[in-house]
Structure 1
Amino acid sequence: MPPSEETLADPDTPFAVVELSRAQRNAEFLAQRMRELGVSLRPHTKTAKALPATALMHGGKPGPITVSTLAEAEAFADGGYTDITYAVGIDPHKLPRVIALLRRGITVRVLLDSVAQASAVTAAAREAGLRIPSLIEVDCDGHRGGVLPEDPALLAIGRQLHDCLDGVLVHAGESYFATTPAAQREAAAHERDVAVAAAQRLRDEGLYAGTVSVGSTPTAHAADDLTGVTEVRAGNYVFFDLVMAGLGVCRVEDLALSVVVTVIGHRPEHGWILTDGGWMALSRDRGTANQAVDQGYGLVAELDGTLVPGLVVTGASQEHGILTTRDGHPLPDLPIGTRLRVLPNHACATAAQHSGYRIVENSRLVGTWQRLSGW
């Protein structure tokens, strides 16, 4: 949309806001870091799920991306993206949609960690008469899916994939609980070592492993040596959030996403300020609850982004947010109708509550970004 005369005081609340300058700065920082480390950046679209946000991550033009749904893959293919990794274990029922994209000339890599999935992929590829490039998910920290790098299943999957094998993919999910720079560097090094070792095991058996894919927002920012890695995936970094700030991966000042809410009531006997921003606007994510500082459902700022001292969203029902203070701060005088911005715990979860984003520069709304949805 072209610039308008609207400000953050105009649209009905709650609504999601992206600070364009912050998102650009976040995107450019990691892109430069990957250039310095000599690896390709394959941004994950799962946080913003918006074509303009992904364009920021690639300097304004399509490039290699990671998606979490085939709906994203299809929408980004329509938007000119031709090199896509679908980084969720493949359901054989979804292979016809993958094949349809491949037939359009879109490279779509699928992810798997079992012989059963590999068998389904090779059967579908044989029937379609084309190659379905596939990555074996390797588990580096027990966080989620994947085959262990030393497991005989790694080679069995590789042999079953045969010509469809494209390489390995590793995700250091436990890095989201690494609370020091040293721990994050260690997670990044371990992620790299596991991925490189798994790829080498495949190669030693005469199997192809051209892609060695690693990444998470914490490890992407902590890595200092990516020898043997071909690409890094990360997505949260374009917006960042309070979890990342709590880990020290970014500063609160780097958070590009917020939700504008309005004060709708007061309960002085409880020390509460009520807003129209409940969990339907903020999500139920409590990702900072186990960190050194629990940020409730989000920190509260004025419309210009200045944090309100000590004010936190400590309660959330469907359409109501409850603000309280901590650390001895007095409850501020915020009359009915006052607009505030809430900085989220988890950008992916908060963004998912909204159909799009209002884009702001210097407190003025300059456009909107539509958000993709569905699977």
Structure 2
Amino acid sequence: MAEPTPLHALETPCLLLDKAILRANVARMQVHLGGLGVSLRPHLKTAKSLDVARMAMASPAGPAIVSTLREAEYFAAGGVRDMIYGVGIAPAKLPRVAAIRAGGTDLAVILDSLDQAEAVAAHARASGDAVPVLIEVDADGHRSGVAPGDRDTLVAIGRALTEGGATLRGVLLHAGDSYSLSDPDALAAAAEDERVAAVTAAEILRAAGLSCPVVSVGSTPTAQFARDLTGITEVRAGVFMFGDLFQSGIGAVAVADIAVSVLATVIGHQRAKGWIIVDAGWMALSRDRGTARQAVDQGYGLVCDLAGRPYPDLVVRDANQEHGIVAVRPGAEARLPDLPVGAQVRILPNHACATGAQHDRYHVLDADNRVAAVWPRINGW
């Protein structure tokens, strides 16, 4: 793009990305983790963009983690060579994994059951490809994983892999329950619990004579609040790059650190109801209402001026498919701003991953809030 484009020239709704905030968020995380002696493996599920990935990864080749095989294929085509597919492997997906690996990418998979391990081992024997595997360990009862102290299951999985022709690369944990916390000390304690669970599982495998070179943990909250990462080799996090209102409610980012927003246009008013109508509904913002469970409910998003400054207590109170209903937060004393038809606003998202998934590109802002580049992003599985 030769000349920066002013925001008023953009068709709305569209997705904006502040490059300077993105760069600062990445640098802050790298410095924090570097001080604790571990490397960052950025999760690319939020960004789904090679341009963003190259800002976050240690090198153009990685490392990285992805949440879909569509992402793995896309980033592999862009030169990323060190990746983890971070969703428990379904046996039917192994041929697709094999195709990515055959192209020169070291793509590892994760699993948490003996059935999965036996399927991977059978694939390894049939293909001659010693697929690298990380055993998913349950950090906190949030979702998937082997209990960290379940020696019998951990060792059985490890032996099924190594004796069957696959490669046991290590253990992987995700402290998903950290998303329900907000107190810094509680978040630091969750990070420590995650670390202890990871090290416990790794020590069980090693004591059984099994290799465990990688001990991988991560979530944006625990990555931000970890104080000691002894025994950990890498930390994974992704949404920290962009930030969102949910992470702000946790305390993992500040509102000023949110790098993405949706540009919308005022298309009407319902003055008797105190509403401003914009052309960004849930198809542009997503249906995510995660902040409804937090101390501050941000509706479907926090409304800002074109410089990214939030209007006092102005939120998207409700959303239809293509209409957003903007109003003052219930119980607040702020005044509705004078925003005529045709005026533009920026809306900060509740969940950057979900909002990003509604769009196929980023309009990348320069220091003057003009669009200096357009970066493609992908969706799908």
Relative to the length of structure 2, the TM-score reads 0.96
Equivalent of 1:211 in 204, 211, 214: 214
Superposed CA deviations along residues 159-206 of structure 1, whole A, max 9, x for unmatched, are: 111152111000000111111110110010000100010010011111
In the alignment, which residue of structure 1 is the partner of 2:197? 194
Superposed CA deviations along residues 63-91 of structure 1, whole A, max 9, x for unmatched, are: 20000011111111111110000000001
In the alignment, which residue of structure 2 is the partner of 1:158? 158
Q: 5 Å matches for 1:274-313?
A: 274-313=277-316
CA gap 1:168/1:174 in 2 versus in 1, 3 angstroms: same
SS of structure 2 residue aligned to 1:120:
helix
Q: CA deviation at 1:324?
A: 0.7
In the alignment, which residue of structure 1 is the partner of 2:377? 371
Q: 5 Å matches for 1:105-254?
A: 105-151=104-150, 152-162=152-162, 163-254=166-257
SS of structure 1 residue aligned to 2:171:
strand
Q: CA deviation at 1:150?
A: 2.0
CA gap 1:196/1:357 in 2 versus in 1, 3 angstroms: same
- Is contact 2:137–2:146 with CA below 8 Å preserved after alignment? yes
CA distance in 2 between partners of 1:266 and 1:105 (Å): 56
Structure 1 stretches of 4+ moved >6 Å: none
- 2:338 matched to 1:333? yes
- The amino acid across from 1:215 in the alignment is G
CA distance in 2 between partners of 1:316 and 1:210 (Å): 48
Superposed CA deviations along residues 123-155 of structure 1, whole A, max 9, x for unmatched, are: 000111121000110001111111111222222
Superposed CA deviations along residues 249-283 of structure 1, whole A, max 9, x for unmatched, are: 11100000000000011011111110000000000
SS of structure 1 residue aligned to 2:9:
coil
CA gap 1:3/1:291 in 2 versus in 1, 3 angstroms: farther
CA distance in 2 between partners of 1:59 and 1:3 (Å): 29
CA distance in 1 between partners of 2:148 and 2:346 (Å): 45
SS of structure 2 residue aligned to 1:198:
helix
Q: CA deviation at 1:59?
A: 5.6
Q: Which moved more, 1:157-166 or 1:244-253?
A: 157-166
Equivalent of 2:263 in 254, 257, 260: 260
CA distance in 1 between partners of 2:363 and 2:185 (Å): 37
CA distance in 2 between partners of 1:295 and 1:356 (Å): 25
- 2:41 matched to 1:28? no
CA distance in 2 between partners of 1:60 and 1:349 (Å): 27
CA distance in 2 between partners of 1:123 and 1:61 (Å): 33
- Is contact 1:138–1:168 with CA below 8 Å preserved after alignment? yes
CA distance in 2 between partners of 1:114 and 1:295 (Å): 39
CA distance in 2 between partners of 1:117 and 1:3 (Å): 51
SS of structure 2 residue aligned to 1:203:
helix
CA distance in 1 between partners of 2:53 and 2:378 (Å): 12
CA distance in 2 between partners of 1:222 and 1:55 (Å): 25
CA distance in 2 between partners of 1:330 and 1:359 (Å): 31
The count of corresponding residues between Structure 1 and Structure 2 is: 374
Superposed CA deviations along residues 307-327 of structure 1, whole A, max 9, x for unmatched, are: 111211010010000011131
CA distance in 2 between partners of 1:367 and 1:312 (Å): 28
SS of structure 1 residue aligned to 2:179:
helix
Q: 5 Å matches for 1:50-129?
A: 50-58=49-57, 61-129=60-128
CA distance in 2 between partners of 1:38 and 1:59 (Å): 15
CA gap 1:304/1:60 in 2 versus in 1, 3 angstroms: farther
SS of structure 2 residue aligned to 1:289:
helix
Q: CA deviation at 1:373?
A: 1.5
- Is contact 2:300–2:349 with CA below 8 Å preserved after alignment? yes
CA distance in 1 between partners of 2:283 and 2:135 (Å): 36
- Is contact 2:57–2:64 with CA below 8 Å preserved after alignment? no
Q: CA deviation at 1:208?
A: 1.1
Unaligned runs of 5+ in 2: none
SS of structure 1 residue aligned to 2:135:
strand
Q: CA deviation at 1:60?
A: 6.4
Q: Which moved more, 1:215-224 or 1:56-65?
A: 56-65
- The amino acid across from 1:157 in the alignment is I
Superposed CA deviations along residues 29-65 of structure 1, whole A, max 9, x for unmatched, are: 1111121111121000000100111111126633200
Q: CA deviation at 1:116?
A: 0.6
- The amino acid across from 1:271 in the alignment is G
| Aligned-pair Cα RMSD in Å | 1.0
SS of structure 2 residue aligned to 1:80:
coil
Superposed CA deviations along residues 264-308 of structure 1, whole A, max 9, x for unmatched, are: 110111111100000000000011111111111110001111111
Q: CA deviation at 1:211?
A: 0.8
CA distance in 2 between partners of 1:117 and 1:80 (Å): 29
SS of structure 2 residue aligned to 1:42:
strand
SS of structure 1 residue aligned to 2:42:
coil
Q: CA deviation at 1:227?
A: 0.6
Unaligned runs of 5+ in 1: none
